[in-house]
Structure 1
Amino acid sequence: MARPTPVEFDKKKTVAENRRARFEYFIEDRYEAGIALTGTEVKSLRFGEGSIAESYAEVRDGQVWLVNANVPEFSHGNRFNHVPKRPRKLLLHEREIAKLTGAVERKGMTLVPLSIYFNGRGRAKVELALCKGKNVADKRNTVKERDWKRDQARIMREHK
């Protein structure tokens, strides 16, 4: 039976996307989290720069942190420019943090950022997913399904 489609967030401008995460993990839950940024980080993200390809989130001291996300230095920034790979605090409600902490500690799940985007109000947000890792057979199965869907679409186009 197919999984229900998750609720989509109000994404106006996507800055960075972690497309590999959908291949590497089974995505269980999605959360929208605010992100604490400095001025030059926001400017750099507005220019469309940034990468979350190798980043992850962790719960430390009752707070969630985005680790290893790369927001390059702002080109017109001066001595007040930011450090590109610093840990950034994610802004979530206490109940959400407690739920994430329990899932990570008890169930052995992982917190993976799926995308960084600006919402309708112009705020930078992170789409955070609670994931379970796939093994090699699951990844192979994912590739088979993707290839079959591509072939199916090609056959349907030729049939018309």
Structure 2
Amino acid sequence: MANNKDTKKNLVFKNRKAFHDFTILETIEAGIVLEGSEVKAIRDGRVNLKDSFVRIIKGEVFLLNMHISHLSTTHTTYRPDERKDRKLLLHSKQIDKMYTKVAKDGIALVALKLYFNDKNMIKVQIATAEGKKLHDKREDLKKKTMLRETQQVLKNYK
């Protein structure tokens, strides 16, 4: 049975590399500041979070290196930079909490998902995460393949 929260969200992009490279500790939903036709481009699926990362700069949270391609209908004189820094909208208490975790424990901030919420606004799910070691990644791959194989056997058995 599907989760109610997931049915209300219209997922645009999921950063699978982040789930592979990091152990996710805590997730937070954040708004994002966009310009012009970027929302239409995201709706069209012209977005990439693969190499993006989150930084706290002077008490504000920014999503760096996220790529949003231009639409062909965008006017040539107004085309925002595709890889510019985009500000994330969070409460100051949330920012302070994340900053203390990142500064003390050496934990990374990662963008996981980009989606439209139930009010049709673009949201980014960011997470505090620890980097995985190579042997941890191998263990996760083994578990996933074993689970996939058992599901296929059960499906074929029925």
TM-score when normalising by structure 2: 0.91
Using the aligned pairs only, state the percent identity.
33
2:53 equivalent in structure 1:
56
Q: Map 1:1-160; keep pairs closer than 5 Å.
A: 8=5, 11-78=8-75, 79-160=77-158
Secondary structure (helix, strand or coil) at the match of 2:144 reads: helix
Question: CA 1:127–1:63 in structure 2 vs 1: closer, same or farther (change >3 Å)?
Answer: same
Question: CA 1:11–1:20 in structure 2 vs 1: closer, same or farther (change >3 Å)?
Answer: farther
1:127 and 1:105 map into 2 onto residues whose CA distance is 20
> Does the CA-based 8 Å contact 1:16-1:49 persist in structure 2?
no
1:69 and 1:11 map into 2 onto residues whose CA distance is 24
Question: CA 1:159–1:9 in structure 2 vs 1: closer, same or farther (change >3 Å)?
Answer: closer
How far does the alpha carbon of each residue in 1:108-155 deviate from its partner, in whole angstroms, 9 at most, with x for none? 111110111111111111010110000011001001101110121123
1:61 and 1:36 map into 2 onto residues whose CA distance is 17
Question: CA 1:94–1:9 in structure 2 vs 1: closer, same or farther (change >3 Å)?
Answer: farther
Number of residues of Structure 1 aligned to a counterpart in Structure 2: 154
Unaligned runs of 5+ in 2: none
TM-score when normalising by structure 1: 0.90
TM-superposed CA distance for 1:104, in Å, is 0.8
Q: CA RMSD in A?
A: 1.6
Secondary structure (helix, strand or coil) at the match of 1:39 reads: coil
1:3 equivalent in structure 2:
none
2:94 and 2:73 map into 1 onto residues whose CA distance is 37
1:111 and 1:9 map into 2 onto residues whose CA distance is 22
Displaced runs of 4 or more, over 6 A: none
TM-superposed CA distance for 1:81, in Å, is 1.6
Question: CA 1:11–1:56 in structure 2 vs 1: closer, same or farther (change >3 Å)?
Answer: farther
Question: CA 1:139–1:8 in structure 2 vs 1: closer, same or farther (change >3 Å)?
Answer: farther
How far does the alpha carbon of each residue in 1:61-94 deviate from its partner, in whole angstroms, 9 at most, with x for none? 0000000000012221111221100000000011
Secondary structure (helix, strand or coil) at the match of 2:115 reads: strand
Amino acid at match of 2:133: N
Unaligned runs of 5+ in 1: 1-6
